[in-house]
Amino acid sequence: MGWRPLAAPLDWWRSLEDSVDLRPSTWENFKIELENTFQTINPVETARNKLALLEQVTTVRQYATQFRSTALLIPGITDEEKMDRFIRGLKLEVQKETRFKTPKSFDEAVQIAERYEGVTYQVQMPRTNNNRFNRANRYADGGASTSSTSTNYSSAAAPAPAATLQLRFTPD
C-alpha cells in the first residue's frame, strides 16, 4: 500500500477511540491534544522559513495567494517585509519590472507584477490577424503579378488591391 497522508492522524484517532482514559472529554482538550501531537515545534519559524524559500513557479496570482496564506501565519509581519519577500520570490523579469515601478506597499507590488505578467502574456500570444491587407505571402511571386487572374476572388471575397507598391533596397 502506498503512502497515505492521513495515516498518522487516523492512527492517532483510532488509538484514542480504543482507550477511554486517553480520549479527550471536551473540544478544547481535543484541540490541545491534536496540536501537541501534530503541530510543528515552532509554527511561526516554519512559516518564516517557508516564506523565505517561496518562489513564483506559476502565475503571479497563484504565487500571491500562496504567499498571503503563508504570511498570515506570521504575527506582526510588516507590510514592508511582505513586499520585500514577495518581490524577491518573483520570476526574474517580473521582479525587475516590479522593482522598477517602486511599489509603496505589498498590495501595490502584487498589482504591478500581475499587470506586467498580463501584458507580457498578451504580447506573447500568437496573433490571429484577419486583416486582408496583412496576410502573409499574398503574392508568392514577389509581387510581380497584380492582376486579378493570379488570385482567385469570388464575389463574396474582398476585391483585389488597386495597386501594389514595390520597394527594393539596394546597398550603395
Please tell me the distance from the alpha carbon of residue 112 to that of residue 107, in angstroms, as a whole number: 9
Q: 50 and 98: one domain?
A: yes
Inside any domain, residue 132: no
Inside any domain, residue 157: no
141-164 tens-digit pLDDT? 555 545 444 444 444 454 555 555
Inside any domain, residue 137: no
Contact 88, 63 (CB under 8 A): no
Which grid cell sits at 158?
A: 474582398
28-42 tens-digit pLDDT? 888 888 777 777 678
Looking at residue 155, what is its pLDDT? 46
Q: Which residues are CB-contacts of 104 (< 8 A; sequence separation ≥ 6)?
A: none
Q: What is the pTM of this model?
A: 0.53
SS3 per-residue string spanning the chain = CCCCCCHHHHHHHHHHHHCCCCCCCCHHHHHHHHHHHHCCCCHHHHHHHHHHHCCCCCCHHHHHHHHHHHHCCCCCCCHHHHHHHHHHHCCHHHHHHHHHCCCCCHHHHHHHHHHHHHHHHHHHCCCCCCCHHHCCCCCCCCCCCCCCCCCCCCCCCCCCCCCCCCCCCCCC
Inside any domain, residue 90: yes
Inside any domain, residue 68: yes
Which residue range forms the structural domain that includes residue 116?
43-124
Q: 73 and 90: one domain?
A: yes
Inside any domain, residue 19: yes
Residues, the chain: 172
Task: State yes or no: pLDDT of 24 exceeds 90.
Answer: no
Domain count for the chain, please give it.
2
Q: 75 and 25: one domain?
A: no
Inside any domain, residue 88: yes
Q: 27 and 61: one domain?
A: no
